[in-house]
Structure 1
């Protein structure tokens, strides 16, 4: 009973639960924003990786004949992003690239940073899914008169999505947990809200456990929803 009173004082006293709600709203919002941006970037970069764009194919030099500038740019992007920590990318974006935009919301900075980071991983997931399909799918679509872009949109990508959905779910769960580093640029996410409560109550364990429990619930709900979506896609096959 005494411990319950302590918990009440930690979270209810001074309306400190509002910090948790604010952090939850921020974390979910950033995750959704960056997930959408990551998917858009991932699809575009994956198409760049696998497209057959060779502007110098008539060159006598074999190296230039096989050169694909779009694929090279996509590889540079994925290697650069996957080879550096997300917190470093976040700090560079906030303190260097967007340093001149003093009024830029932390939410937008964090969403762009995590979206760019997620796009590199989504790109590799989608590329693996597309390249794992039978090549006859594209050949059949082209034989029916579909241009390359339409064949990708209507035939290849929908089939690839079904195969890569579990990997995408794992990426988005990772993305949700990665938002916990946004406190480095002043964002009040879930972890930051726990630190604020700790600084006011001098109780470090309870706020962290509460935040960890909230993350567990959110990832559980998201996983459940995506499993239902996956089952629905399999049913429609």
Structure 2
């Protein structure tokens, strides 16, 4: 409820502002409303199958191919609010959780953030925010493992926490069956964060990577999860101990 109360407070101050300076103050208030750990200083969270790593939730956002974790950052952004007072000649942007600097800045929201914001607001049940969601990212490429662990630790240690729970299934992929499998690696599209890595050996970027290295395609050993298996782990709808209301 802390974030809901904070958003209501900002909206009220925005509407009541009589001077430009009062609106400008809201920008500093947004950044000052969150306690953000310094990069790399957040306490380490449980990983994989460790107790506490995964918590069943009523509202689950599942991100397959989490890559560098940017979608989690966009989801966190949806809980921030700005102030548009054209009558006073000023607009304060909502703010942005920067997953590279681990700070809040005033970067513009992109279309993904806008889409996620609409998704969150459309959830039945009244004033729903990202704090009512759990985020689970699934990423197979081991090149991102350390980065995603640090990002998860940072986000979970942020106060107030932007989402109810956040966790990355690293070195893991969506698959047709549960169990060990392989991810064929894209090693050439660095600017696109190796987006061509695939569970299919014949993917064009996997073939390009092999050609560029004058070798056979490279693969990483990863864990495969079916969608149903992940939902059973993460959603209250499948939790036998959850209340009938939480299973809806």
TM-score, normalisation: structure 2: 0.21
- By percentage of residues, which structure has more strand? 2
- By percentage of residues, which structure has more helix? 1
Of the two structures, which has the highest relative contact order with CA contacts closer than 8 Å and spacing of 6 or more? 1
TM-score, normalisation: structure 1: 0.22
Bigger CA radius of gyration: 1
